[in-house]
Structure 1
Amino acid sequence: MDLVTEKPQSTDVWTDDLSVGVDIIDEDHQAFFRLADLLRDIMGSPDKNQDMLVETAINILEEYVKGHFLREETAMATIGYPLLAEHAAAHEAFAARAHQIAQDYKSGNKEVAATINDLVRRWIVGHIRTMDMQYRGVLTNENVDNRPMAYLTADENDQADGWP
């Protein structure tokens, strides 16, 4: 199933049946719902700064996507998770879609902002239920880095720049 374009079961709120049993990953997933709420609220507001707020929220979403996917994939690599490649490919497809929306918005296509809330909710729920639940019981609180995402992405950037 192509979770970026197809419509799996959706929900407007986080529910306990979406828990993967890893506290920090569940918190990350819940934050996606809050980001979708933020985008919905901004889009429904006649604020004179709406464009700037939407662009900021989209940028936050893009960065959050990178950090969360890094957290999951690093944990999967650490334990030798056999479905890592498939999982990473799904992450890459969603990250590319989120990036395209951000670029479209910055290029003047303001209508794309109206699609983000549904895309995020639809994708995260479908992804959790079809892919993340496969690692439930395999990934644990002990083998997932629970530092704030800024530290995770800073470490990755340092390594990319040749720092140990």
Structure 2
Amino acid sequence: MAYFEWADDLAIDHGPIDDDHKHLVALVNALHTATSQGCGQEVVGDILKDLAAYTKDHLQREEQIMVSIRFPKLEGHKKGHEKFVHDLEALQHKYEQGSITTASQLSTLLRDWLSLHIRRSDREIRDFLKASR
């Protein structure tokens, strides 16, 4: 069983947003698996690097979609994105400083972000898309 399971209630657009979220879920699970096997610290650097780049791309795509559909809560949504990027950068800094708890902190941050952000904030995008059809 995976650390974080994709569930139907996480689906937003059955397209690019969901594809991105599924990739992020895969990263969370890869990190958790490595951590469970005692080698989280060995892989966290590469996962952090991939995650930082992929997250920025994903957030840009998601925000472009919100602009294109004239999503009314764009500014609030962007603030949530900015906080997440800040949290990721803080973990990268901790890792670079030699913190040995970075892998577990990153795993928890990602699981919570994906679960809460998608189920709350991104769900608003899904609901807006449905209402405007």
Runs of 4 or more above 3 Å deviation: 137-140
Letter in 2 for 1:20: I
Structure 2 distance, partners of 1:41, 1:134, is 31
Distance 2:62 2:42 in 1: 30
Q: What corresponds to 2:64 in structure 1?
A: 74
Give per-residue Cα distances to partners, 1:20-77, cap 9 Å, x unaligned.
1331111111111110111112223345xx6452201111111111011000001112
Bigger relative contact order, structure 1 or 2, given CA contacts below 8 A and separation 6+? 1
User: For residues 3-152 of structure 1, what are the structure 2 equivalents within 5 Å?
Assistant: 12-46=4-38, 51-139=41-129
- Give the structure with the larger helix fraction: 2
Cα pair distance change 1:99/1:76, threshold 3 Å: same
TM-score, structure 1 length as denominator?
Answer: 0.71
Query: Where in structure 2 are there 5+ consecutive unaligned residues?
Result: none
Report the CA distance shift for 1:27/1:133 in structure 2 as closer, same or farther (over 3 A).
same
Number of residue pairs matched by the alignment: 128
What is the TM-score normalised by the length of structure 2? 0.86
Structure with bigger gyration radius: 1
